[in-house]
Structure 1
């Protein structure tokens, strides 16, 4: 049963030494409702709920001072408690995942930075999470950080609207995110990849609190991409290039694929 604060604490070993003034929390959003896969966070993969696999990966991080699951469902809450995790209940009425993250962050008032780790990526690389955390803590000019994988411009995924692409400036900051091919190669440019956006975000706390007060922006609504709201409001978003291509789980079929991967490790 959850306490009055809505959060259940388990010991979390703090191994972050980025700064005495920084406190970095990883938050794993986990909703019950899903059109394609209801109850996904509790789907068993290799004998453990999906959300526990993600939790276990995140526990290997060295740059997180705290780790929390944010959920809107008592069943998920109870399951996290059962495997010894830390969890907070959030409203079921949030319009976006970022709003859920912002509410969960209130449970950790000392947090200066928040890393939003998708609760359906059981093979996420802990090193990528650490890299995002370190990038945010090292650069006071950043509002956000995220990641992307290079794609060959001829890869069929470039034309897939379900695959979000990002274009970056020479200094590694995001210029635009789109479901369309990005950039459009009118001329071939040797060595220029297409960058597939990976849905992990790190935020400066003060920026996250501002972000959720802004209404959905025009480009955000057109592309159905929350990160465009940040760009349209002048945010600075660092994009880390990574070779982490770990698959997410959006369907039962993808869960079976991940189970096969885990069985082969």
Structure 2
């Protein structure tokens, strides 16, 4: 089974323009993320896929591997799918470009899903962590997920799901952590399928997979990801490093 990591890396960012090219301890954020992915030793190969000459040159000049996007894309899945369409791979893991402190254990968990699925019934694997703070549960920026008894995703939403009409029934709330592992064919199918109403309404690309019958296995983790979305995040990352 050939497993690769792909890091989608847009130069533009609404909240923090050019954040991936910011200095983080003598290396750019994207270079640190690339090195961290390689150093997990979980992958047969690691690629950055980008729309930016600056990011492309940053990775290649340091001896890394980068792919230039040929089209504009609305989602990370679209960008990755275009990049891997002609690559001979089985499993593609999406690593976020603005998360240089990669948690190897979490990545290993999503990869393990496919190693334990010889009949190839699972199309994607992703992560979730339990949240209990009411503010976090109600925050629409925290995407929630509900699963069946086998850990398969039933639905993702920015709303509170399930709705707590009865509060004393032992419901647990889970936040979706945006690390994905895909079978290559599921990713290519996504690329060629249209956006439908659920995805358009919630602005969540994972709903396209569910709307077209793809099976997403969720894996619980306690890891809290550390992303760089603002200049303040970058300062915290520098101190942490």
Shorter-chain TM-score: which interval?
over 0.9
How many residues are paired up?
Answer: 239
Q: Find the partner of 1:119 among 85, 97, 103.
A: 97
**TM-superposition CA deviations, 1:64-123 (whole Å, max 9, x none):** 11110111111001111232211111135112211110111135x210110111111111
Q: Does 1:68 align with 2:58?
A: no
Question: 1 CA distance for matches of 2:135 and 2:13?
Answer: 27
Alpha carbons 1:60, 1:126 under 8 Å: kept: no
**TM-superposition CA deviations, 1:25-52 (whole Å, max 9, x none):** 1000111111122211111112211112
Question: 2 CA distance for matches of 1:75 and 1:60?
Answer: 23
Give TM-score scaled by structure 1 length: 0.86
The change in CA–CA distance for 1:259 and 1:215 in structure 2 (over 3 A counts) is same
Moved over 3 A (4+): 189-192
Question: 2 CA distance for matches of 1:25 and 1:196?
Answer: 25
Give TM-score scaled by structure 2 length: 0.94
Q: Which residue of 2 is the match for residue 98 of structure 1?
A: 77
- Structure 1 residue runs without a partner (length 5+): 1-21
Q: Does 1:38 align with 2:17?
A: yes
Question: 2 CA distance for matches of 1:202 and 1:74?
Answer: 27
Alpha carbons 1:57, 1:122 under 8 Å: kept: yes
Q: Find the partner of 1:161 among 134, 140, 159.
A: 140
- Structure 2 residue runs without a partner (length 5+): none
**TM-superposition CA deviations, 1:182-229 (whole Å, max 9, x none):** 222222356542111111111111111111111111110110000001
Q: Does 1:178 align with 2:157?
A: yes
Question: 2 CA distance for matches of 1:83 and 1:186?
Answer: 55
How far residue 243 of structure 1 moved from its aligned partner, in angstroms, is: 1.1
Q: Which residue of 2 is the match for residue 196 of structure 1?
A: 175
Alpha carbons 2:82, 2:191 under 8 Å: kept: no
Question: 1 CA distance for matches of 2:239 and 2:144?
Answer: 28
Question: 1 CA distance for matches of 2:85 and 2:190?
Answer: 15
Question: 2 CA distance for matches of 1:32 and 1:65?
Answer: 26
Give the superposed CA RMSD: 1.5
Question: 1 CA distance for matches of 2:167 and 2:9?
Answer: 41
Q: Does 1:151 align with 2:131?
A: yes
Q: Does 1:138 align with 2:116?
A: yes
Question: 1 CA distance for matches of 2:234 and 2:84?
Answer: 29
